[in-house]
Amino acid sequence: MRNFLTTVSAAALGLTLSVAVPSYSHAQSLAGSYLAGRSASVNNDYALAAQYYASALARDPKNVELMDNATLSYLALGDVKRAVPLGKAIIAAGQNSQAARMVITAGLAADGKFEELAQQEVQSDGISPWLDGLVKAWALIGADDVDAAMKQFDSISTDSGMEGIISFHRALALATVGRYAESEAVFDSGVVGAAARTRRGVLARAEILSQLDRNEEAVALISNTFNGSTDPELDMLIARFNAGEKVPFTHAPTARAGLAEVFYTFAALLRAERASDYYTLLYARVARYLRPDHIDALLMSAGLLEDLGQYELAIDEYRGVGAENSAYHVAELGRAAALRRLEKADQAIEVLNQLTRTHGEMAVVHSTLGDTLRAQDEDQAAIAAYSQALELTKDGDQRKWYLLFSRGIAFSQDGEGVAAEADFRAALEINPDQPQVLNYLGYSLVEEKRKLDEALDMIERAVKASPNSGYIVDSLGWVYYRLGRYDEAVTQMERAVELEAVDPVVNDHLGDVYWAVGRNREALFQWRRALSFVEFTKTDTEADPDRIRRKLEVGLDVVLQEEGADPLKVASDE
């Protein structure tokens, strides 16, 4: 697999670094369009990039670099049909371009020109060796030459690290041509490996078993793989199996669908290997073009677009899943997340409220609504949403700790400390060493100045579990401060600031600790830093800017006196 990543990463560099800046002798309008397109590409604004590159091509229609960049932009947008003529023009100009080969391959497959696709030379006409080998095999399936296709699978099945993927596609291809017993034999042999344990692999095999009148085995396969967890798609499929229906094979019913699966497989591999989101998106887009109903490719494309900061494009993708589809709730949850990232929380809440009416039996819908409401400080509504999610979650489900923790935070933010503590302790009964819960409850106890020994134990355990979390290390320093163990507090607070250098709360806390040990000048410096970060971020924070300004004016001792708080246990002047 590492060799695969090296190969595709090198290819990715070829895609992104092959552009040459037009010569100065070109008209400035051409240069302007080119540079604007480059800027848009860097910012992942593919629609704007395509617009500028098209404008530049109108002035210099034979510029191969411009064509290549425009091809990439259209491909990233999923507009493969518009990219195909550009790809052909690039190859006709004698240039080699991986993007051009991708769109040409997609165009031939979409047009059903499988014989022509099968005749392409892998070394000169292809995209990458492993992908090209699978493309050729599926093209032969499309050309009704099954024997040649099987020989093609054989010829590439010895490539190190790819045996499982190739065997998986052989099994799919056999099912495509109705040879279900042979397809199941491939799965049963174990050679498919990890691909057989993916969701698509499991569901494809379940459909194949159904075609062999082995529905009970199909149900057992799903149950054993997903440990009894289900979702609307799995529930519907299991119901069909239990009803005795012979469920059709849908994962690659045609050669074109098989080719879509090739591109989706490679997109999934790239994502698993943490390759570039942009490069991975290109493969997912081809899969979606070849098979518009490939919901997994759609959801992957949308998620990648979110990661690339293209939230509007992601929302458009998510909208492509209809309410009748079993993955509708997944798409709507994704759309709500993208709306939140666009700072359109009201619209996100509207989407989630609607989802509670259509998929109200799913705990994740209510918990996601709770998270969104809590982020908007609508704590009472968030508590109600979390409570509904908890009612829908079975006892013994390990995920219950997170719901209790989340509701506890909402209770805490709403000033209901007793209820919050009860939820935190219930979460710890399920997951005793969970660092976030230990830290939150421990910090809350410190702020309330009670059970400080227990709070210290909790936070020390949290730091042991997450030693590189600045917020948790900050909590440990703060409990030392509350206990009057100022020298120990300094050590932890300095470490916390190293980990969270621009967090206003952590810097404010370090200032207080410095003041407590007599390092007043350093305290003033940290408070100024904290104040600058509060004013810069302009986000809700525990750091009170007015209190920080008062400390800068008169010092911490006077502020504590004005607040009626206990004085510092130890204080000294510089």
Look at residue 231 and tell me whether its pLDDT is greater than 90: no
At 232, the pLDDT band (50, 70, 90 cuts) reads confident
Which amino acid does the sequence have at 163? E
Find the mean pLDDT for residues 131-135. 92
DSSP string, 344-376: -HHHHHHHHHHHHHHSTT-HHHHHHHHHHHHHT
Look at residue 571 and tell me whether its pLDDT is greater than 50: no
Q: Are 352 and 368 in contact (CB under 8 A)?
A: yes
Q: What is the pLDDT of residues 418-464, one digit of tens each?
A: 999 999 999 999 999 999 999 999 999 988 888 989 999 999 999 99
Share of the chain above pLDDT 70, in %: 92
Locate CATH 1.25.40.10 in the chain: 311-432, 455-574
Q: Which of 88, 56, 58, 81 is nearest to 69 (CA)?
A: 56
Find the mean pLDDT for residues 44-54. 91
DSSP letter assigned to residue 193: G
Residue 536's pLDDT is what? 60
Look at residue 501 and tell me whether its pLDDT is greater than 60: yes
Residue 22's pLDDT is what? 40
How far is the C-alpha of 346 from the C-alpha of 336, rounded, in Å? 10
How far is the C-alpha of 262 from the C-alpha of 138, rounded, in Å? 9
Look at residue 205 and tell me whether its pLDDT is greater than 50: yes
Q: What is the pLDDT of residues 55-108, one digit of tens each?
A: 999 999 999 999 999 999 999 999 999 999 999 999 999 988 889 999 999 999
Residue 313's pLDDT is what? 96
Q: What is the pLDDT of residues 189-200, one digit of tens each?
A: 999 989 999 999
Q: What is the pLDDT of residues 318-350, one digit of tens each?
A: 999 999 999 999 999 999 999 999 999 999 999
552 three-state secondary structure = helix
List b or e across 494-522, with b for residues whose CB sees 16 or more CB atoms inside 10 angstroms. ebbbebbeebbbbbbbbbbbbbbbebbeb
Burial of residue 487 (CB within 10 Å: 0-12, 13-18, 19+) is exposed
Residue 122's pLDDT is what? 65
Find the mean pLDDT for residues 216-228. 92
Q: Which of 254, 258, 263 is nearest to 80 (CA)?
A: 263
Q: Are 238 and 219 in contact (CB under 8 A)?
A: yes
Look at residue 208 and tell me whether its pLDDT is greater than 70: yes
Q: What is the pLDDT of residues 2-41, one digit of tens each?
A: 333 333 333 333 333 333 334 333 434 788 888 888 888 8
Burial of residue 333 (CB within 10 Å: 0-12, 13-18, 19+) is buried
Residue 3's pLDDT is what? 34
Name the CATH topology of 455-574. Answer: 1.25.40
Find the mean pLDDT for residues 241-264. 97
Residue 37's pLDDT is what? 85
Residue 9's pLDDT is what? 35
Q: Which of 211, 126, 139, 214 is nearest to 169 (CA)?
A: 139
Q: Are 473 and 479 in contact (CB under 8 A)?
A: no
pTM for the model: 0.85
**Second CATH level (architecture) for the domain 311-432:** Alpha Horseshoe (1.25)
Q: Are 320 and 294 in contact (CB under 8 A)?
A: no
Q: What is the pLDDT of residues 519-543, one digit of tens each?
A: 999 999 999 999 999 866 555 567 8
Q: Are 273 and 279 in contact (CB under 8 A)?
A: no
Average pLDDT, the chain: 90
At 126, the pLDDT band (50, 70, 90 cuts) reads low
